[in-house]
Amino acid sequence: MFKQKQWLAVVRGNHWVVAKVARRKLKLDILHLSEFRIEPESEVELNSQEQLGEKELSTKESGQEEQGLNSGKKSDSLKAWLHKNHVPLKNLRLAVSCPGVITRMITLPLMAYQDLNKLLTAQVEQYFTLNISDYVVDYRVLDRFVEGGDIRQRVLLAALPKYQWERLWSEWEEIGFKPKVVDLAADGLARLYSQLTLKGKSHKNTADLEAPLDIAIVELSADRAEFILLEQGVFFLYSDLEVSLESLDQVRVTVNGKGLGNEQSEEYGDADLQTAKLHAWAKTEVAATLENVLQALSEFFGFFAARHFGKSIDRIYITGDYSDLPFIQEIFQSNLEVFTQVGFPNAWRPRFSKSISILQKNGMKYGSLYGLALREG
C-alpha cells in the first residue's frame, strides 16, 4: 500500500531534529533521523546514533552567551549539517517550540471559511487580554458539534510572540529556507495523542483501559516542560514552564550502569544494597528536580477539575528528551495520583528502519515529530 514520504523538522532553540518518514494513516516508518545541537561557544553536531546517553544542552539558560555566537558561523554549520543529511529544504515541513506561546479555545457559530478568516483577522484581539499586536496569531478548527439545534465549531487560537517569530524567520533566511508549513510542536502533540486515543475507542475490549477520555500530555526537554490537556480528544488547554533538567543527565547515566564501577561495589560489599541505595538516590534527585513541574501540573489539573464538576484527568502521557528519566512514571503517578505512561496510547509506536534501529528504544522522545507527520495539508 502506498505510503506518503515527507521530510520533517522540529526546532527548539538550537536543537533541530530532522527525519524522513513514510506514513499511511497512523502507520509511521522512520527512514532517517538525525539531531543537531549548537553549543554557545562552538558548534557541535550530534547525529542521532552518536548522541545516545550524552549530555544534552540547555538553550534557554545559555541565551546571553548565544548572543556572542557568530550567526554566520552558526548558519554555515547548520547548512552543512542539513546538506550532509540530504535534507531538501524546499520540501521540509517544520514544527517549532518556543517560550511565550499563548492559546485560547473559543466556540463560534458555523460559518464559511472566508467569514471565519475575516473575523479572526479583524477581531482577534477580543479573545486575548494582552496587546495582540506583539504576537503572530494563527487558528485551527478543532471540531464541530450541535448545540441547541445549531451547528457550532471549536476553534484553537495560538499566539506566538512576534520577536520570537522574527528571530526564527531570520535564522531560516540565513540558510536559504522559506518554510511552506510551520506547525506548533504542541499542536502536533495534541494531534498525535488525539488520533491515537480516539482510534483506541474502536476496540471495545480495550476502550476503558487504553483510551481515557481526558488526558494530559507532558513533553520534557532540557529547559522547558510543556503541558497539553485534551478533553475527549479535543485540545483544551496548553501551558509551559521553564525548567533546568540537565542536572539529571548524570542520574540517568548512573542508573543505566555507566557510573557504577568495581570500586563502588567493593565499598558497599553488597550488590543488592548498593542497587537499593542507588535507586533511592535517583528517585530523590528526579523527584526534587521535577518538583516545580509536578506542582504546576497539580494546579493545571485543579483548573481542569473546576470546569468539569470535579472530574480529574484520566491519564498522563510523557514524551520528550527527558521522558526516559529513571522512575519518572512512578514519581508522576505517586505524586499526582493519576495513571502515568511514558510513550503513546494503545501500545502505538513508529517503526524505525534497519539502519537506525538502535533509536527504536528512544522512540518515545519524538512525539512532536510524529504529530507533525500526521498533519494533513
Kindly report, residue by residue over 42-54, the tens digit of the pLDDT.
444 444 444 443 3
Q: Is residue 278 part of a domain?
A: no
**Which SS3 state, helix, strand or coil, does residue 47 take?**
coil
Q: Compute the distance between CA of residue 127 and CA of residue 103 in angstroms, rounded to an integer.
A: 10
Question: Cell numbers 500526521 label which residue?
Answer: 374
> How distant is the alpha carbon of residue 283 from its chain centre?
24
Amino acid code (one letter) for 282: A
pLDDT of amino acid 2: 54
pLDDT of amino acid 201: 55
Kindly report, residue by residue over 297-322, the tens digit of the pLDDT.
999 999 999 999 999 999 999 999 99
Q: Is residue 149 part of a domain?
A: yes
Lowest pLDDT segment from 61-75, 91-105, 322-336? 61-75
pLDDT at position 61 over 70:
no
pLDDT of amino acid 270: 63
Which has the higher per-residue pLDDT, 329 or 260?
329
Query: Which neighbouring-strand residues pair with 6?
Result: 21
How many separate domains does the chain show? Answer: 1
Query: Which neighbouring-strand residues pair with 16?
Result: 11, 36
Q: Is residue 108 part of a domain?
A: yes
Grid cell for residue 320 = 520528550
Kindly report, residue by residue over 187-223, the tens digit of the pLDDT.
999 999 999 987 655 444 444 444 447 999 999 999 9
**Which SS3 state, helix, strand or coil, does residue 81 take?**
helix
- Region 340-356: mean pLDDT is 95
* Under 8 Å between Cβ of 223 and 243: yes
pLDDT at position 77 over 50:
yes
Among 216, 23, 230, residue whose Cα is nearest residue 142: 230
pLDDT of amino acid 81: 95
pLDDT of amino acid 124: 92
pLDDT of amino acid 204: 46
Q: Is residue 113 part of a domain?
A: yes
pLDDT of amino acid 49: 41
- Region 321-341: mean pLDDT is 96
pLDDT at position 37 over 60:
yes
10 Å CB burial of residue 215 (0-12, 13-18, 19+) is: buried
Q: Compute the distance between CA of residue 361 and CA of residue 2 in angstroms, rounded to an integer.
A: 27
Amino acid code (one letter) for 228: I
Q: Is residue 122 part of a domain?
A: yes
Q: Compute the distance between CA of residue 367 and CA of residue 369 in angstroms, rounded to an integer.
A: 5
Query: Which CATH number is 130's domain given?
Result: 3.30.1490
Determine phi and psi for 351, rounding to 5 degrees.
-110, 125
pLDDT of amino acid 206: 44
- pLDDT-derived band at 71, boundaries 50, 70, 90: low
Grid cell for residue 97 = 517550540
* Under 8 Å between Cβ of 22 and 4: yes
Q: Is residue 154 part of a domain?
A: yes
Q: Is residue 80 part of a domain?
A: no
Domain that holds residue 124: 99-166
Mean pLDDT, rounded, of the chain: 85
Q: Is residue 155 part of a domain?
A: yes
